[in-house]
Amino acid sequence: MSFAIEERSTRLSDNKPHIDPYPLSPYAAWAGNRNKDAILHSFEELFPTKGDALEVATGAGLHINYLAPHFPNVRFQPSDYDQGVFETIKAKRLKGNNIADPALIDLTVSSTWPNADERFYDVIFVINIFHVASLSIAEGIAALGAELLKPSGFIAIYGPFKLDGKYTTPSNEAFDREIRAAGVPEWGLKDVRDIERETRTHGLALKRQLDVPASNFILLFGRS
């Protein structure tokens, strides 16, 4: 990680808003800005030079709109279960860029998923949701991937996780205590092994596990 990114991350950490997972909240904007460069650097090594990428749980659109200009020959499809964020996603787009209109995808309702007869994806990615989402969402992402991924495609999941029941850093342990203190049942760091178990039922396997600043992972799943 470059000094510039470290310096910016530290500065943003000093002004961390109260945790609020709503996509248009100050916290979501803070978290997105804090990790967008680290995610971009990893995705530059992973993404195809040409193809299709689907973001699940796009939220306010910060990541997809930041990433897309760096991959001019990749078509990016934003999606969310909350149609209330669609105008915000579209408002962030640069005119004439490679981001499609947002689509409704509810991972718990398969009838909302895209039609595999129309398009398959090289990449399906999701950023920063599992600490405030139930583990069942992993099963939904895996089922979606089993239907929509190209044979060589992959799912990329970014966020903080436990590994084999243990925290990987003191900062992640402190973060987990902080979000669990809110008393919301599904909030809390999930374990990589539990994510693996959910995806395995749909013929997907964990192919790579990348360490990414700050104290996060990118989990890459592909067909077994």
* Average pLDDT of the residues in 48-57: 96
Domains and their CATH numbers in the chain: 41-223 (3.40.50.150)
* Mean of pLDDT over the chain: 88
Report H helices in the chain: 3-13, 26-46, 62-67, 86-92, 136-148, 170-180, 192-200
pLDDT tens column, 147-179: 999 999 999 999 999 999 999 999 999 999 998
Q: What is the pLDDT of residue 15?
A: 76
Q: Are strands 121-127 and 74-77 parallel, antiparallel or unpaired?
A: unpaired
Q: Respond yes or no on whether the N-terminal peptide bond of residue 28 is cis (omega within 30° of 0).
A: no
Answer for the pair 209, 221: CB distance below 8 angstroms, yes or no.
no
Which are the contacts of 142, defined by CB distance < 8 A and separation ≥ 6?
A: 155, 198, 199, 201, 202, 204, 221
Answer for the pair 98, 71: CB distance below 8 angstroms, yes or no.
yes
* Average pLDDT of the residues in 99-106: 96
Q: What is the pLDDT of residue 96?
A: 67
